[in-house]
Structure formats: structure tokens, C-alpha cells
Amino acid sequence: MDSETLSRRTLRFVNVAHALDHFVLLIYPTAVLAIAAQTGLSYGELIGLATGAFVAFGLCSLPMGWLADRFGRRTMLAIFFFGYGLSCLGVASASSPTSFAIWLCVLGLASAIYHPVGSTMLVTHARRLGRDLGVNGVWGNFGAATASGVTALLAAGLGWKAAFVVPGLVCLACGIAFLALVPGDGEGGGRKSGAAAIIPVSRPVALLVVFGFAIVAGGMTFNVTTIALPKVLDERVGDGLPLALIGSLATVVFVFGALTQLLMGRLIDRYSLPTLFLGLSVLQPVGLAIAAASTGIPLLIGLVLTMAALYGQVVINDAMVARYVPAAYRARAYSVRYFLGFTVSGFVVPMIALFHDRGGFGLVLGIAAAIGLVIFAAALGFFGLTRGDRARALAAAE
């Protein structure tokens, strides 16, 4: 197989894997509404069972770059597809809080594979970095956007177990197709035109610290918003909304995140990353503050602004790793990037349960808005630290 064909096929499966990664991880936050109605357990108790999944999602991402370097990226992505499929079937078989917690933890372990491995594969095979990052981001957002709606429809029509069984079978089918159609890692047909030009920096340690704060804070606001979204809409848009309508509204909010990712993908190829990062970082605290203080349509506007900022930042952060980290260290850099973002943010699940019980989602979203201010401060610091290097960064981005 020639390198061009291998790159095209690899990118397609990487995009599908990104969609499945976010889709499957967000099944439970919507399905939990149906599970609560069936079991009589509280939302706070049930959502807390997902803590292990989101902690594993981040914690286990740390060794994935090393494992990919050792056993091959193709092997790891195949394990992702099959591991995700089997864990979905396992959650569907759960019948007690303990079994839910165990299978959700296994699901989180499988989900941890994608981002370090898939991001490295994407950068390796990309023809135009910004465009391909944007498209890949849209696939991930499509998975997150449709998770609430599809889960709600399956749970309402066939029961909550079907909401896990159907995606599980899709994951297994994708794994079989991936092994059949992608014979190896390859060097990437788009390597020459798509390889990221490394941007030299004068203060790398300070940049790493600032970037680390942005990653941790961004991971927390990302998980607070995406996990709580179905329940926020249930409580603050209108009481007594059907589950299917709640899922559909959540999907509409996620769509705006997808549009932002497409825009950011195009802008990354034209403008400097620090400038784009700073401009986008303003939207998170503003959107979360609006959502925290309002209900109905104003709440939806705040959530749309927040989702646009959240998903736009994902594309920018991935581009930063590609532009500032040499290729030999990129897989491990993505592992650290997602380890920082997802491990700390995994603890927002019990935080949501705790603060929801004490002050409702006004308190939860208010705290998230304060965390969003940390992202803005980090973006401001990153912009200041790279001011002297901006001319070279802009030349590389173009």
C-alpha cells in the first residue's frame, strides 16, 4: 500500500475513533437519568459512580504514548476499538452500583488510549495541520454532540441498556475494519506538507508551566460542562422536559463547538497560536458566568459561548504540542498533555455531585466560571512570554 493511501485511511479511522471516544464516554451522563428513574437512586449517587471512568480517562493516558512507541500506534488504536466495545457491553450487563463503577472504570481505561495515540497519528499523517486538526476536532465534537440525543432516543425507545449495547457493537465492527484496512503505522503520505514546523522559544520552562495551568483548568471546565449539560438543561431550561428533548437541546449546544473547531482549524494555518488562544480564552468565563446566573434562553446562550470556547481550545492546545514539540517526543508530550487535563478534571464528577446537592447548578457553573478565569490568565501569560518569538511563530504557522 502506498503512503498516500495509508495516510488517508489512517486519518479516517482516527477521526471515527475520536467521535466514538467522546460519544461513548458521554453515554452514562444522559443514560443516568433513565437509570435513576428505574432504580430509584439519586442523580448525585449515580453520577458519582462515573468518577473512576473519568479519572482513568486521564490517569491512564500517561503511559499510552510510551506504549504506542513500544508496540506501535496501530496496535494501540485497535485495542482502543475492541476495549471500548467490550466495556460498553459490560456496562449494559451491570445490575448493581458496584458493577456499574467497575465497568465504567474499564471503559475509562479504554478511552484513555485514543488522545495520546490518535493525536500523534493525526499529526504524522496530516497534509495541512490546522485543517486536519479542525476536522478531527469536529468528529470528536460530533461524537459528544450526538451522545446525549442518541442515548436519550435509545433509552426512551429500547431501554438504557440498548444505549450501551448499540455503540459497543459499532466499536467492535470498527476495530475489525481498522485491522483489515490499515496494515501498519507508516510514515505518512502527507508528511512533507503536513509536518508541523517547530517554533523555537526562548523561555520553554515558563511556557510549560503556563501551558500546564491552562490544560488543567481547561480539562476541569470541559468535564464540568459536558458531564452536567443534560441535567443542567433538565433543571434550568424547563421542568418536565422529555428525555429525548433534553438530549436534542444538548446536541444543539455541542454543534456550536463543532463550528468553532472548524474555524480554529482554518485560523491556525494563518495566525499565531498565542493570539488565537488569548482571544478564545475570554469566552469561557463569560459564557459560564451567564449560564450560572440565568435560565431558559439566556442559559442556552451562555452554554453555547462556553462550548465554543471549550472545543476551540482543544484544537489550539493540540496544535501547540505539534508546533512546539519535536516529532520524536510528540507521542509522550500528548500523553502528558491529556494526563494533566483529564486526570485532574476526572475529580469534577464528585465535585458536581457535591455542589449540586448544596447549591444547584448555579453554584456548579459559578465555580466553573472562576476556573475559566485561570485559563484566561494562562493565555495572557502565554501571549506575553511568546511576544518576542511571535514573528517566527507566525511564519511557521503560515
Q: What is the pLDDT of residues 112-131, one digit of tens each?
A: 899 889 888 888 888 877 78
Right CATH for 3-397 from 3.40.50.300, 1.10.10.10, 3.40.50.720, 1.20.1250.20: 1.20.1250.20
Pick from 193, 58, 126, 60: which is nearest to 330 by CA? Answer: 126
Cell numbers linked to 203: 523561555
pLDDT at 11: 92
Cell numbers linked to 53: 471512568
Q: What does each C-alpha distance from 375 to 3, 280, 292, 338 come to in angstroms? A: 39, 10, 18, 16
Residue 394 binned pLDDT confidence (cut-offs 50, 70, 90):
very low
| Count of positions (residues) in the chain | 398
Using an 8 Å Cβ cutoff, are 27 and 206 in contact?
Answer: no
Across 125-129, 243-247, 383-387, least confident range: 243-247
Per-residue pLDDT averaged across 241-245, rounded?
A: 66
Residue 176 binned pLDDT confidence (cut-offs 50, 70, 90):
very high
The ranges assigned to domains in the chain are: 3-397
Q: Determine the Cα–Cα distance for residues 270 and 261; give it in Å rounded to an integer.
A: 15
Other C-beta atoms lying within 10 Å of the C-beta of residue 98 = 10
Convert the pLDDT of each residue in 277-309 to its tens digit. Answer: 998 899 999 999 998 888 888 888 888 898 888
pLDDT at 85: 94
Is pLDDT above 50 for 190? Answer: no
**Residue-averaged pLDDT of the chain:** 82
pLDDT at 17: 95
pLDDT at 333: 82
Using an 8 Å Cβ cutoff, are 186 and 376 in contact?
Answer: no
pLDDT at 274: 86
Burial 45-73 (b: 16+ CB within 10 A, else e): ebbbbbbbbbbbbbbbbbebbebbbeeeb
Strand (E) or helix (H) holding 31: helix 27-39
Across 46-60, 189-203, 218-232, least confident range: 189-203
CA angle 369, 354, 153 (to 5 degrees): 80
Per-residue pLDDT averaged across 313-336, rounded?
A: 81
Is pLDDT above 90 for 390? Answer: no
Taking the CA of residue 109 as centre, how many other CA atoms within 13 Å lie in the half-sphere pointing to its CB?
A: 11
Across 159-168, 211-220, 333-342, least confident range: 333-342
Convert the pLDDT of each residue in 34-92 to its tens digit. Answer: 888 777 777 777 877 887 787 787 788 888 878 888 888 899 999 999 999 999 999 99
Per-residue pLDDT averaged across 187-206, rounded?
A: 59
pLDDT at 13: 94
Is pLDDT above 70 for 196? Answer: no
pLDDT at 191: 46
Q: Determine the Cα–Cα distance for residues 141 and 344; give it in Å rounded to an integer.
A: 21
Is pLDDT above 60 for 396? Answer: no
pLDDT at 193: 43
pLDDT at 65: 79
Using an 8 Å Cβ cutoff, are 127 and 194 in contact?
Answer: yes
Higher pLDDT, 248 or 274: 274
pLDDT at 192: 45
Q: Report pTM.
A: 0.73
